[in-house]
Copies of this chain bind each other. A is one copy, B any other.
Amino acid sequence: MRAHLVYAHPEPKSFCAAMKDTAVTALAEAGHEVTISDLYAERFNPVASGADFVMRRDPRYLSYALEQRRAIEWDTLAPDITREVERVLAADLLFLVFPVFWFSMPAILKGWVDRVFLSGMFYGGRRFYGRGHLVGRRAGIVASMGAREHMFGLKAIHGEIEPMFRHLTRGTLGYVGYNVLEPFWAFHVPYISDEERRRDLDRLRQHLAKLDSLPVLPVPDLSGYDAQCRILFAGDMREP
């Protein structure tokens, strides 16, 4: 299997960098071919704009998704986008490795999604969720955060963790068709001991060693919806 990691942390000596290195090693040891996009090191530009297209279908009015669709046809995407798209399409497994900023990805990684998950290729029309372009592939999240584990839960201060990150798991990775693996979270990272951090890296190794048995978050199977995505019958969730 080919695994691609998209990693975004501004500090090369951070715990998040150690998670990235641990993941690269663990996946390689499991026999996967591993590639990586190191967004800070590569100074990735996260701002979606008209400059993302070498030639524009309409230079007077920017409809970003329409330009994406035309640029795929014409092969006129900016080179940095083309490079990232090829990396993603070559991989059976995608991992996003990042520090949680505001219950989501750092902007540099959010912009990687904005610019790389192309309309007309990754999704489009009725091709999303269970019919997204990446159906059959798997995606995972490996993330560190300041919050403690007990801060998540039904009555806990942040509420349940799944809805807090649903925009990313279901709304982004699931939307383009990935089977979304149960995320790996390292909690309270800035406040714990080195010993505890080493245990988190061990836990990450174990997590990556059992990819085939990890729970997968369900995404909707589109069969329960009509052409306008109205409910036809009680929404089935895809069992991968």
Contact = CB atoms under 8 A, between A and B. Distances in A.
Contacts of A49: 10, 40
A3 to B, nearest CB: 22
Contact of A102 (B150, B151, B172): B172
A63 B9 CA distance: 11
A106 interface: yes
B107 A107 contact: yes
A102 B114 contact: yes
Contact of A167 (B46, B48, B61, B104): B104
A62 B16 CA distance: 12
Nearest to A175: B102
Contacts of A151: 229
Nearest to A108: B47
A10 B62 contact: yes
Interface string A229-240: 111001100000
A74 interface: no
B107 A222 contact: no
Contact of A148 (B107, B155, B168, B229): B229
15 contacts: A10-B49, A14-B62, A48-B107, A63-B190, A102-B113, A102-B117, A102-B167, A106-B111, A107-B110, A107-B114, A148-B229, A150-B228, A157-B220, A157-B235, A163-B166
Interface of A: 10-11, 13-14, 40, 46-50, 61-65, 101-108, 110-111, 113-114, 117, 129, 146, 148, 150-151, 155-159, 163-168, 170-172, 175, 190, 220, 222, 225, 228-231, 234-235
